[in-house]
Chain A
Amino acid sequence: MSWTVFLQEIGARQEYGLTPHELAVILCLREDPGQTKQQLYEAYQRINTPIEEEAFTQRLRTIYRKFRIVGRGYKLPQLHRFLVQQFQQSEQGFARLGLSRIHADFPTATFADALERLLTATINRKDGGIACADGEVAILQTFAPNLEHYRGHLIRCLQAGVRVRILLAWPYSLAASLREEVLKRYAAEPMANDFAIQGSVLANLETLEAVIRCNTSAQGLEIRLYDTLPSLALYRAGPMLLAAPFLHGALAIHTFQLELDLQASDTLITGTLLSDFERMWTVARPFLPVPNHNWRSDLRILFTA
């Protein structure tokens, strides 16, 4: 529906000045690529008053001119690419890609709300006897400066049976040191010079140790650490995902965030981000900060043992 609505909308724009007959041709364009001129002609013939092929070709030429399709080679694929590009940039296109909103920095309350919705949905589904398949919490960060803020949520999620996966940088990796150096040198953050990724990851692990202690077990909580290059921050609560890049000038939580809906039909963005998370999850190594255990020594040799 949205493609057809989009075609009607763009065909009616005054700047292109299409006639009703030309608009009728546009409405026969399919969204997926590869439609030949002959197929387009046949589609047109099926739902409109039949016309000669020569007249149809002439009508198409006018359409190309009006849409300023002037590149070399076949014009129909160029027209198709142009319209798809316009469609993706239109409101319907963004929604289809799952892009709900863009935040200037990490939306603390929005993520808390998403966690609450996930909790409610999980508890309701459990009451109905249906397991919640994709209702997980997942965080990918170098270190998560806001993890302590969500400690209570994490505890309640685990108690409700929600799977929680946390993927952080191994604090002794060269990649983590490089990220630290970059932030110290370029970040416009207050206290930038005092960034210490080792200590920050340790603080996250202490928070998770407290979560395990509170729940008396690590059931449902999975933590892995990676030694590769951090490039992306992801925060997932069920069908909601926040994504931010690691820029030279700021912490990821102080960078713009894409709020994405994982139920979107087009998985170009969401699928790419989730599969990168899974790739990192595969190469990362499991680690648990077991309470009352000397886990700092285990952490130190995680990648050298």
Chain B
Amino acid sequence: MQALVQQLIYGVQLGSLYALIALGYTMVYGVLRLINFAHGDVYMVGAYVGFYACTRWLPFRDLAANPSAGPTNIALAVVALILAMTICAILGALIERFAYRPLRNGLNDGDAHFWGFVLALPLAIKFGPLVSFRGLALLLILGIGFGFALRPVMRWLRRRIVLSTSRLNALITAIGVSLLLENGGLLVFGADQKFIGNVVPETNWNIAGIQISSGQFTIFVVSLALMAALRHIVLFTRRGKAMRAISHDIEAAKLMGIDTDRVIAFTFALGAALAGAGGVMVAALTHVKVSPLFGLLPGLKAFVAAVLGGAGNIPGAALGGVVMGVAEAFVAGSRFSTYKDAIAFCILIIVLLVKPAGLLGKNVAEKV
């Protein structure tokens, strides 16, 4: 019994994390009917921001040498969390602006300049490390140069391309962005794995034989707090109202004077911030290795969680995440631990067969 409760607690902890990532998938699906496969890689970027914040950027002090540094380090850890959320939010908005928006509205000069910088990145890294003056200067010069060179190309493309409303285009683009982030991560961060040591004081609590670590507890509590904040934004703010309006009917929302592009970018930023928070917390509190493929499996499982709960449904994503986490913990704790990743997909298949719209999704007929 005790072992059972223990596995349940691990499952809920794991599930809260899946839920946090799944929210990003489900919100984007809600407004655009798009599965943003790059979302798991945003989680990876969050972990890397956490790594650099904890080891380079912020003045964390070694806890083993200064036991009294605990409170300052906790404050710095909050700064690292906010930093990761901010950078990921910007990244999420950038992905929307330069990968998905051109599919809806066509290309313009802004796109030319952005892709100019993307092209300049590998060259700049080849001739100087990115953090050095030489690397940055090269990036700047080449980026601007490529940008102007690409402008006529983009204009030509704009005239040639017939915009399609097919969702498949966006889906394939999402896979492309995911690959770009993973391999870009290899280029920028390197393939070797990185570890974040102990940055905040850690303890284990033993409550009636049940073990709970402070790190896992923090992840759980912060995830809940972020989900509550998200609920508030979606239900009680003007932006949230606009998001809900778009998810009902994007054309009608436009007619009502809603700046849909801005709201969609905001939705991406919001989801990405949550994923970034998840990434930095996992890397800093559970000390797992951070590598460019850090987001691959968690991202996939969160995607499954989102579909499980009903794509586009925010409480559904949270529920789906917890179901996935608990199922995984119970399988991993049994004799069949090898199958713990496969079980996620088996659950998905069964739920979709019984309830095609997901656990909390409404099965509404789409109008043509």
The yes or no verdict on A and B being binding partners is: no
Which residues of A come within 8 Å of B, CB atoms? none
**B residues at A contact (CB < 8 Å):** none
